[in-house]
Amino acid sequence: MRLTVPMTMMEFFRKSEGKWYTERSVHHFDVVADESGVSNLIVKVVEPDDPKVKEACKLQGIDPAKAKGGGSFSWQDNLEEKEPNPNYAAVLIDVPDDETGRSGKLIRDKGYVDGLPVISRYWFGEDGILTINTDYDNNQGVRLV
């Protein structure tokens, strides 16, 4: 079976759906304590007609008709058996730049750093590598997937 690399954000969300074990290391260069640990990441696809799409777009002043859907992300301690805490969850909505869906905006209902809504830019390279840039008030996050 040949691996097909996702080249749009919705393809990426669909291929990522499920429960994933994650290990995270965060190192701060100031007085804030490091945030490292292991957890489960639970990914679910959010369809375009889901009310979460309209809510997240409204927070950022984006027309929900431009959104293609998105993904919901929940975190929990990897030994936890009960439902994830909704305080450790976020919704990312895909707003592509054009019909190819290879680049666009990710509208997040709350950011990881400050808990406020945030907009990231994403693009898929020809090789299928997904790059996501997020600007926060005091720092910037770059992720390569």
Residue ranges of domains in the chain: 9-27+34-144
pLDDT tens string 58-113: 988 999 999 999 999 888 877 777 887 777 788 999 999 999 999 999 998 875 55
Mean pLDDT of the region 42-54: 95
Q: Give the pairing of strands 18-24 and 37-46.
A: antiparallel
pLDDT tens string 23-32: 877 666 666 6
**Which tokens hold the place of 8?**
């749009």
pLDDT for res 23: 82
Tell me if 62 sits within 8 A of 116, measured CB to CB: no
Tell me if 133 sits within 8 A of 141, measured CB to CB: yes
pLDDT for res 27: 65
CATH topology of domain 9-27+34-144: Lipocalin (2.40.128)
Report field, pTM of the whole predicted structure over 0.85? no
The set of residues, in sequence order, having a beta carbon less than 8 Å from that of 50 and lying 6+ positions away, is: 69, 70
d(C-alpha 75, C-alpha 21), whole Å = 10
